[in-house]
Structure 1
Amino acid sequence: MKKTFIFIGLLSIACASLHAQNKTDIPVYLDDKQPLEVRVQDALKRMTLEEKTRPSYAQGKFSSPGCPRLGIPELWMSDGPHGVRAEINWNDWGYAGWTSDSCTAFPALTCLAASWNPDLAAKYGKAIGEEARYREKDVLLGPGVNIYRTPLNGRNFEYLGEDPYLASEMCVPYIQEVQKNGVAACVKHYALNNQELWRGHIDVQVSDRALYEIYLPAFKAAVQRGGVWSIMGAYNKVRGMHATHHKLLNNDILKGEWGFDGCVITDWGAAHDTYEAAMYGLDIEMGSYTNGLTSESEFGYDDYYLGKNYLKMVKEGKIPMEVVNDKAARVLRLIFRTAMNRQKPFGSMTNEAHEQAAYQVATEGIVLLKNEAAKKQPALLPVAPDQYKQILVVGDNATRNLMLGGGSSELKVKKFISPLDGLKKYFGNRIVYAQGYAAGRPMYGREEKISQAKVDSLRNDAVEKAAKADLVIFIGGLNKNHFQDCEGGDRLSYELPFGQNELIEGLLKVNKNLVAVIVSGNAVEMPWVKEVPTIVQSWYLGSVGGDALADVLTGKVNPSGKLPFSYPVKLKDCPAHFYGEMSYPGDSIKQEYKEDILVGYRWYDTKKIKPLFPFGYGLSYTTYKYSKPVLSAKQMNEGETLSVSVKVKNTGTVAGKETVQLYIGDEKCSLLRPQKELKGFQKVSLQPGEEKEITFTIKPEDLQFFDDRKHEWIAEPGKFKAYISSSSADTQNIVEFEYK
């Protein structure tokens, strides 16, 4: 409890200093019974200019200072969105080597998004917040809510999919539950950080309409509904200015239109200019003069942009005092909410409840993409206990610790259950394993080369064993190596790496009973999709992921995950890639989001391009039947709401969970609109034969689009359709209504 002792020491110094000034009463700013803003303003009045500016830049790799003279403690921050990262050294990027910093690894946020279950998002946030609190962290750097624009983005696995409504609904409960622990969530990366290639300088050109309709709603929900206490500024530029100190993004929208009262914190090394950082909304600068990940520098912390040069510009009158006071007040507000919050709980680490939360997210996030029956045979999944004498498990991802690598999301875990471990618990010595392919070690900046002799040897071994097996379970996909699902670089290709496609083809030639489990945070090309009878989209499932995957494959848990992004057949089908290199990845200096608002399913629907697997799609071991939906009225007037109800019945033989999705389409509009947009979803649990009614409320804002000609949200009178769907491409029923 080192921080507790430090805080008590600082508090003693502060009280002694005030006593020497004949002020023996408890200062207002130290009294947590006083309103927050009263405390902030009282502390501000007592601070010198130097004390107001110093908390705005780092004092260590993951710490920024408070005000020691007044007993106001520093802030301690930690990666990341999927677990509390192992302790980093004070002044370099090496791990500190503690024996008490192992954590629970929770599934990647793509898996959470695939659960389509806000209640699980709350459980996730509560558990990870408890671990951050126990480790005495004040700011947890997550969740990530950037929009899935291209399947090549190296950090998509850290985000919540392609749809702003889904991302909004899933991030809000996560944030709220984290912050109940007195730990600030830090929503990232604000904004338009949708690729890792050239992330430090790529200049994104995007319309106001796409900005407001697609890329900002989840951040807005985090602020206005989630009440988030901090936001992380992104590395990239937007319209010529770095996002982390950006007048439009920070001053006009975040702190202006949305009323954000928290701190904007840089991504590590994302600041570039003292005047812009001061004037355009940056509050705490971290990691400058490093690349944010590995390299060190001869510069000291005072050399940061918000360091001595900031103080100098203030003294010279180039930065107004109201800017200084606002920045200092925001940092104080964050400290009072976290480090000086005496009402926060103690937290807890790596306990059974946290593992159970991770398990629930994993099992509800796994998506069954295909499960076709072969001739005269049932579907391959679920696998019955005594169905097969010999089961071959193939693939490097069956045994790899996928909590390693990936950049800042790397985790040191207390427990690691691999997929192979999980399957062996069910099938024991009936399981045979073959690595099949070699992926090498997680490496930053380059790929480890594997010799062709090793590639051939591993493939031949797997194929030979497959010929003798009754069932083959291939567990491959991507991993956390550079140029895959990893910070600092995008994927180089849409296809599976390490010769996996050739391996799958070889396995199919000798055994058609093949289950392909794709572990990834991204869509991948599937040239073998028609030949493989069963395909499962797994994710990075965390500490107990092997148990979760095994329980889904064997039917102990009925899969209920739905894709949080569309799966294109080929890369050119994806809207970011359709318009050529200037759209993605850009020319290394600039890029243009030429698809505008038509991201993900909005593109596939509107352009009538069939995806390989659509947004919101996922199969089950049971079947569901939807009734005809009923509207509360055929007309919706301005300021009113409508409700639409539908009954869903489990018509199969096992219990399951179905996610019912509501999309709204505008039949005629003065501007281009997508065919339909997600505006509601509910996940319902049903026993065999059970039927439940689900009701959605349609609000006027669900009909709106952002008119960038007028810079306002508008719902035009006319006819609308409500689509009741099980995915963006599987509409069960449509009802029409009119808005006046």
Structure 2
Amino acid sequence: MKKILLGTFLSVAAFTAAQQETPVYLDDTKPLEERVEDALSRMTREEKVAIIHAQSKFSSPGVPRLGIPENWMTDGPHGIRAEVLWDEWYGAGWTSDSCIAFPALTCLAATWNPEMAALYGKSIGEEARYRNKNVLLGPGVNIYRTPLNGRNFEYMGEDPYLASVMVVPYIHGVQANGVAACVKHFALNNQEIDRGHVNVNVDDRALYELYLPAFKAAVQEGKAWAIMGAYNRYKGEHCCHNQYLLNDILKRDWGFDGVVVSDWGGVHDTKQSIKNGLDMEFGSWTNGLNWGASNAYDNYYLATPYLKLLESGEVTEKELDDKARRVLRLAFRTTMNRQRPYGSFGTEQHSLAGRQIAQEGIVLLRNNRQVLPVDLAKAKKILVVGENAVKPMTIGGGSSSLKVKYEVSPLAGIQARAGKEAQVSYLPGYASPAQKEQDVKDAKTPQQEAIDYAALRSEAIQAAKDADVVFFIGGLNKNEGQDCEGADRKELNLPYQQDQLIEGLAEANPNLVVVIISGNAVAMPWVNEVPAILEAWYGGTETGNALASVLFGDVNPSGKLPFTFPERLEDNAAYAVGEYPGNGEDVTYKESIFVGYRWADKQKNKPLFPFGHGLSYTTFEYGKAKADKKTMDENGCITFTIPVKNTGKRDGSETVQLYIRDKESSLPRPVKELKGFKKVKLAAGEEQLVSFTIDKQALSFYDDTRSEWVVEPGKFEALIGASAGDIRAKVTFELK
């Protein structure tokens, strides 16, 4: 007998049970914690166990007898996933679940604008609420350690401060809709290779200074209602049931009062799950019905096996009550909240929000000879080259794959913007192998045909000679081995012979614009041959319109890179001194705290493009920086100011970045660390005084010999600039 598929209905078993008893109604006028304790006191042991594990692929039961609804989870961080069958991953065939795709989180991070993070969270939260999901499985804040990680596009870059500032308003926006943000993946999930079992060895300095701050901010400032454990291991224990991460750090030290949700298939042991901090178990087997049981979810680690341990007296109900309490708290914050708004889904407002975020996130990496923006009064013949100009990018990539209401391709966006003012033609130039369709039952892998790269390349290069401007739109895609969950990239270079194609196009036409669509850094051996380069990320539903608005100058680009683009893979710390991907069982982060720009500074490597880099169609001049005092006492603050002027002829926005250097540390420290940023909008000719105020926390480091954060008196330097590689002003000060 098939179970009901609709998320708003109870399962058959739960529905039947609900009909057999008159529900007990709970008093919703009491404070939250009183309501939780009241409900807990009325629950049986069996009901407590039932609510802490799944009943389907994406739901867990409520307590029908008490009128407590089911919990419904949804992937992912970039849009609301299509409905799947109760016990399987295949699509359920709904006709009302086509969502708006928002830009990837790398694009959001590239806006360097907390207001965009708030807009993103509000919009995706409204979509989740309308679909009656009460837990959104996102956002992701794992640190960008290597440019080959297949899941980097779901995260917010390499810097813990940037990720911390951006994640908080995202959470606030989601949870204002009565939907829990489930921040992931806690912690140290920095590669997809061997992700299910690899044990991460990392020193405490790197753990506390790099890999935990964004999660801490999500909990203590964002007040996140849920956290998802990671697949990998730390200190020999899987992160979904890890004493040190979940009980000691998350719940004890940070005071987290929400639920810890397992990643799907991330649970491995009943006793460890009981003792080590897991609250809700999901996806422990791909298809529960293969067990041949009437309800195979009862075989999960926190189901019947847990009940048997309770009945035998091997464990007490202390841990069970804590887990049930947290799940009840989740319900009262979401589905049981009468003030919860209704949300909205697939709206024009959400599409335009996504477009605005995509526009702000696009990064102008290079613009020699002011090739951009393209003037349609002069460019009458436009050639668009590249598979990514037409390839859908909202599907694929793993759990973030979406069924979208529509998706504007880059080619369609360019054609729409050019209108009748220019002739726009298209050639693929390259192609990627066909991939197996996702979320379709019994899908067959399309017949693989040999790709004649030389012929595709030759055709495009020949056509480029007659064009006024050439837009090459390439990069990565969501195929396995690219930007995709479950596997990492094989190399830093572009796939599918794109490098040879770009070199040929550059030789054929001096007005070449290279647009990289990706969630990762790529090598650019042709960088000095190409006048204009854009990083456009995965822009979601409105990708093409957002890109076209920047290419033709309707929008002045203002994005900044949230991670370093190394020139070579060997310039990345994980490859230079660290370990990646490890030996199959363990991986050691030998580079410690020196990740991204911290490593480039230490080695005095000049990256291809530095962290924080991004150009504009206007220019900005930085004046002399000043501090309001020369010395700072231990309990005080210090404020830095710097005048920034738009010296160009058009309005634009600049992200002013503050880095701090410790000049006299007892332990090794990075040359500089990001401790502040402000995005300011300036009209042509306008000047603003930008200010930053910091306290001693911005000067601190984690002393692993003392297991605490410390601040040492001495001399410091404030470095203010346009990127980690473009410091415009310095101010020296002292901490007494």
Which category describes the TM-score, using the shorter chain as reference length? over 0.9
For 2:706, the equivalent position in structure 1 comes to 710
Cα contact 2:660–2:718 (8 A) shared by 1: yes
Distance in 2 (CA, whole Å) between partners of 1:685 and 1:298 is 62
Aligned: 1:401 with 2:392: yes
CA positional deviation for 1:426: 2.4
Aligned: 1:349 with 2:369: no
For 1:423, the equivalent position in structure 2 comes to 414
For 1:380, the equivalent position in structure 2 comes to 371
For 2:157, the equivalent position in structure 1 comes to 161
For 1:695, the equivalent position in structure 2 comes to 691
For 2:494, the equivalent position in structure 1 comes to 496
Aligned: 1:505 with 2:503: yes
Query: Aligned AA for 2:413?
Result: G
Distance in 2 (CA, whole Å) between partners of 1:347 and 1:122 is 16
CA positional deviation for 1:5: 6.7
Could you say what secondary structure the match of 2:524 adopts?
coil
For 1:456, the equivalent position in structure 2 comes to 454
> Structure 2 regions of 5+ residues with no counterpart?
439-443
Query: Aligned AA for 2:427?
Result: A
Query: Aligned AA for 1:696?
Result: F
CA positional deviation for 1:453: 5.3
Distance in 2 (CA, whole Å) between partners of 1:284 and 1:441 is 37
Query: Aligned AA for 1:468?
Result: D
For 1:236, the equivalent position in structure 2 comes to 232
Cα contact 1:245–1:282 (8 A) shared by 2: yes
For 2:172, the equivalent position in structure 1 comes to 176
CA positional deviation for 1:469: 1.2
CA positional deviation for 1:500: 0.4
CA positional deviation for 1:17: 5.1
Cα contact 2:88–2:287 (8 A) shared by 1: no
Cα contact 1:146–1:194 (8 A) shared by 2: yes
| Pick aligned residue for 1:196 from 182, 192, 195 | 192
For 1:74, the equivalent position in structure 2 comes to 70
Distance in 1 (CA, whole Å) between partners of 2:307 and 2:204 is 35
Aligned: 1:44 with 2:40: yes
| Pick aligned residue for 1:519 from 508, 517, 520 | 517
After TM superposition, the structure 1 = structure 2 runs for residues 217-296 of structure 1, keeping only pairs within 5 Å, are 217-290=213-286
Cα deviations across residues 117-153 of structure 1 (Å, max 9, x unaligned)? 0000000000000000000001000000000000000
Cα contact 1:80–1:408 (8 A) shared by 2: yes
Aligned: 1:587 with 2:580: no
Distance in 2 (CA, whole Å) between partners of 1:618 and 1:407 is 29
Could you say what secondary structure the match of 2:557 adopts?
coil
Cα deviations across residues 618-668 of structure 1 (Å, max 9, x unaligned)? 000000011111111111101111111111110000100000001111001
| Pick aligned residue for 1:122 from 114, 118, 122 | 118
Query: Aligned AA for 1:633?
Result: K
For 2:441, the equivalent position in structure 1 comes to none
Aligned: 1:339 with 2:364: no
Determine what percentage of the aligned residue pairs are the same residue: 58
| Pick aligned residue for 2:527 from 526, 529, 539 | 529
Cα deviations across residues 660-681 of structure 1 (Å, max 9, x unaligned)? 0011110011111001100100
For 2:432, the equivalent position in structure 1 comes to 439
Query: Aligned AA for 1:270?
Result: G
Report the more deviating stretch, 419-428 or 447-456: 447-456
Distance in 2 (CA, whole Å) between partners of 1:697 and 1:544 is 37
CA positional deviation for 1:511: 1.5
For 1:479, the equivalent position in structure 2 comes to 477
Query: Aligned AA for 1:369?
Result: L
Could you say what secondary structure the match of 1:169 adopts?
helix
Distance in 2 (CA, whole Å) between partners of 1:249 and 1:586 is 22
For 1:724, the equivalent position in structure 2 comes to 720
Query: Aligned AA for 2:565?
Result: Y
Question: 1:210 and 1:444, CA in 2 relative to 1: closer, same or farther beyond 3 A?
Answer: farther
Cα contact 1:14–1:70 (8 A) shared by 2: no
After TM superposition, the structure 1 = structure 2 runs for residues 612-627 of structure 1, keeping only pairs within 5 Å, are 612-627=608-623
CA positional deviation for 1:94: 0.3
Could you say what secondary structure the match of 1:693 adopts?
strand
Cα deviations across residues 430-458 of structure 1 (Å, max 9, x unaligned)? 11100111113344999989655532222
Could you say what secondary structure the match of 1:516 adopts?
strand
| Pick aligned residue for 2:27 from 3, 10, 31 | 31
CA positional deviation for 1:459: 1.4
Query: Aligned AA for 2:404?
Result: V
Report the more deviating stretch, 276-285 or 500-509: 500-509
Question: 1:93 and 1:201, CA in 2 relative to 1: closer, same or farther beyond 3 A?
Answer: same
For 2:539, the equivalent position in structure 1 comes to 541
For 1:734, the equivalent position in structure 2 comes to 730
Distance in 2 (CA, whole Å) between partners of 1:49 and 1:497 is 55
Distance in 2 (CA, whole Å) between partners of 1:406 and 1:557 is 29
Distance in 2 (CA, whole Å) between partners of 1:447 and 1:511 is 38
For 2:667, the equivalent position in structure 1 comes to 671
Distance in 1 (CA, whole Å) between partners of 2:269 and 2:17 is 35
| Pick aligned residue for 1:552 from 532, 550, 553 | 550
For 2:312, the equivalent position in structure 1 comes to 316
Cα deviations across residues 321-347 of structure 1 (Å, max 9, x unaligned)? 211110110111111111211210000
Question: 1:577 and 1:448, CA in 2 relative to 1: closer, same or farther beyond 3 A?
Answer: farther
Distance in 1 (CA, whole Å) between partners of 2:467 and 2:535 is 23
Distance in 2 (CA, whole Å) between partners of 1:104 and 1:315 is 48
- Superposition CA RMSD, Å: 2.2
For 1:684, the equivalent position in structure 2 comes to 680
Report the more deviating stretch, 496-505 or 480-489: 496-505
Report the more deviating stretch, 352-361 or 278-287: 352-361
CA positional deviation for 1:388: 1.4
Cα contact 2:246–2:277 (8 A) shared by 1: yes
For 2:83, the equivalent position in structure 1 comes to 87
Could you say what secondary structure the match of 1:733 adopts?
strand
Cα deviations across residues 82-117 of structure 1 (Å, max 9, x unaligned)? 000111111101001111001110000000000000
Question: 1:511 and 1:357, CA in 2 relative to 1: closer, same or farther beyond 3 A?
Answer: same
Distance in 1 (CA, whole Å) between partners of 2:446 and 2:576 is 31
| Pick aligned residue for 2:630 from 631, 634, 648 | 634
Distance in 2 (CA, whole Å) between partners of 1:291 and 1:120 is 38
Distance in 1 (CA, whole Å) between partners of 2:313 and 2:600 is 54
Cα deviations across residues 20-40 of structure 1 (Å, max 9, x unaligned)? xxxxxx85xx23221111011
Question: 1:10 and 1:276, CA in 2 relative to 1: closer, same or farther beyond 3 A?
Answer: closer
> Structure 1 regions of 5+ residues with no counterpart?
20-25, 374-378
Report the more deviating stretch, 383-392 or 297-306: 297-306
CA positional deviation for 1:601: 0.6
For 1:23, the equivalent position in structure 2 comes to none
Distance in 1 (CA, whole Å) between partners of 2:53 and 2:95 is 29
Cα contact 1:233–1:243 (8 A) shared by 2: yes
Distance in 2 (CA, whole Å) between partners of 1:411 and 1:444 is 12
Could you say what secondary structure the match of 1:603 adopts?
helix
Query: Aligned AA for 2:585?
Result: I
Query: Aligned AA for 1:409?
Result: S
Could you say what secondary structure the match of 1:679 adopts?
strand
Distance in 1 (CA, whole Å) between partners of 2:123 and 2:608 is 35
For 2:575, the equivalent position in structure 1 comes to 577
TM-score (normalizing by structure 2): 0.95
Cα contact 2:434–2:448 (8 A) shared by 1: no
Cα contact 1:10–1:72 (8 A) shared by 2: no
For 1:145, the equivalent position in structure 2 comes to 141
CA positional deviation for 1:317: 2.3
Aligned residues: 722
Distance in 1 (CA, whole Å) between partners of 2:596 and 2:179 is 33
Cα deviations across residues 25-68 of structure 1 (Å, max 9, x unaligned)? x85xx232211110110111111111111111100000011112
